[in-house]
A and B are shown apart, each in its own frame.
Chain A
Amino acid sequence: MDQAEYAEYIKKITPKSKIWGSLLRAFVVGGLICLLGEGLGALYKMWLPNYDQTQIGALVSSTLIFLAAVLTGIGVYDKIGYFAGGGSVVPITGFSNSITSAAMEFRKEGIIFGTCANMFKIAGPVIVVGVAIAMLCGFGYFIVGLFL
């Protein structure tokens, strides 16, 4: 067997993720997280009638981030993640989990060189790419605006 044949052979004998089951679980759990967000939004709107939609949105996001951080701290979120996959990684709760878990993991190296230096280890690239894409889109929007 040469390298190419071996790669082909390994591909054949390596089990694949069960895509339909994974999709279904991601859909259900991701959907439930969003449903929770919607529910929280409705509650906040009822309790705080003077707040506008943007403020309500910020409150909902902060609550979800807080809840996910607590669930990470008590060792539950990784179990949800193991079950749901993308369903609990993609929503803002997954973002919270990636930062909290890294902060906890590196706590043993101290606050500065452990927690502070490493808490964005997983979330960092997402933030950088997010900011970069936002800048590109903004620039594109500006250019298009010049001609309209």
Chain B
Amino acid sequence: MSTIFFKQKPRIVGWYSVAGKKESEGPLGQTFSRVVRDEYFGEKTHEGAERKFFVTAIQGAIQSAEIQPDIVFAGDLLNQIVSSSFAMREIGLPYVGVYGACSTMALSLLVAATFVDSGAVHHAVAAAGSHFATAERQYRTPLEFGNQRPPSSQWTVTGAGATFLSDDKQKSHIAVTCGTIGRVVDFGVKDVNNMGAAMAPAAADTLARHFENTKTKPSDYDAIFSGDLGRIGEEALRDLLKDKGYDLGENYYDCGKLIYSAKQKVDMGGSGCGCSAVTLNGFILDKFKKGEYHKILFMATGALLSPTTTFQGESTPGIANAVVIEEVEA
């Protein structure tokens, strides 16, 4: 099964997104709660900046919910998920670090919803984020190194997003009603500059299982979002699902494709934990607030590689976690 149905329907009572300069210049620029144009965010290092993005997002979500949470679930891309942990050093709330590579926003949301649904906690925050410069350093080359990016590459989003979940049914009519936990799927893609291709099979697996377990079809949702498949991954996901008998149709979008415009030289689109995190906690949840969305499927995808596994010749396994967000009676 591995699709969790939340009987209590944990409510989304607050959200916050903070994004960088390049993101603010993209098509979603107006949807972020806050834009920070300084890539260092006033800190000495990019790692410090990434932490500050986290602190800002989590505190922003807490402020927008006007409740003190019992626990925070967060994760990022850096080794030992230091950005989330160090951010929580500052925030001081009970914290569980989660890692699902770029699928972390959906994963932390799923875990938070499970905690709230079970009654273990009343209020929980789920967060994820990334920074272009820290990801480049960890996975690729120094920033000032003059090389070309292959056309299949993607651009790591600078930003963080946080969602506040609560068992208080009066506070909101937007709820997390169910979600499907991903399987680790590896189709043997070894090109580290083609993450979309590596993640698409996992995305197809999660979506197919989700549709089957929930007895829904793509057209039952106002929109279906994938996290950061980019242009290649999106096309591959559509075709892989067609093989499984599902047509994603017109209402499927990829956050990686939405966040930047073609003029921004990002090749296949955005990526990173922050990509789906800032899109969910801005563009998507705002649409619920405006009443334009009633039910959506949010699926973030992650490539579970490390530079070590890549150099040792391993292929890139992918994972995708999906969450259903829908309008319910307040």
Where the two chains meet, the residues of A that have a C-beta atom closer than 8 Å to any C-beta of B are 1, 3, 6-7, 9-10, 13-17, 22, 72-73, 75, 77-82, 84-85, 88-89, 94, 97-98, 100-102, 104-106, 108, 121-122
Q: Nearest residue in A to B187 (C-beta to C-beta)?
A: A6
| B146 A77 Cβ-Cβ under 8 A | yes
Q: Nearest residue in A to B143 (C-beta to C-beta)?
A: A105
Q: Nearest residue in B to A103 (C-beta to C-beta)?
A: B142
Give the number of A-B contacts (CB < 8 Å).
Answer: 88
| B309 within 8 Å of A (CB atoms) | no
Tell me, rounded to whole Å, the shortest Cβ–Cβ distance linking B288 to chain A: 33
> Which of B144, B151, B189, B236 contacts A97, CB < 8 Å?
B144
Q: Nearest residue in A to B240 (C-beta to C-beta)?
A: A1
Mostly helix, strand, loop or mixed at chain B's interface?
Answer: loop
Q: Which residues of B contact A97 (CB under 8 A)?
A: 144-146
Q: Nearest residue in B to A15 (C-beta to C-beta)?
A: B151
> Which of A7, A72, A101, A108 contacts B189, CB < 8 Å?
A7
Q: Which residues of A contact B149 (CB under 8 A)?
A: 82
5 smallest beta-carbon distances between A and B, as pairs: A81-B146, A105-B142, A101-B144, A101-B142, A101-B145
Interface residues on B, range: 20 to 34
| A81 B148 Cβ-Cβ under 8 A | yes
Q: Which residues of B contact A17 (CB under 8 A)?
A: 148, 150-151
> Which of A3, A85, A104, A108 contacts B188, CB < 8 Å?
A3
User: Bound complex: CA of A28 vs CA of B201, how far in Å?
Assistant: 42
Q: Which residues of A contact B197 (CB under 8 A)?
A: 10, 14
| B239 A85 Cβ-Cβ under 8 A | no
| B243 A1 Cβ-Cβ under 8 A | yes
Please, could you name 17 A-B residue pairs with CB atoms under 8 Å apart, sorted by A? A1-B243, A7-B188, A7-B189, A13-B235, A14-B152, A14-B197, A17-B151, A75-B144, A78-B143, A78-B145, A81-B145, A82-B146, A82-B149, A97-B144, A97-B146, A101-B143, A104-B144
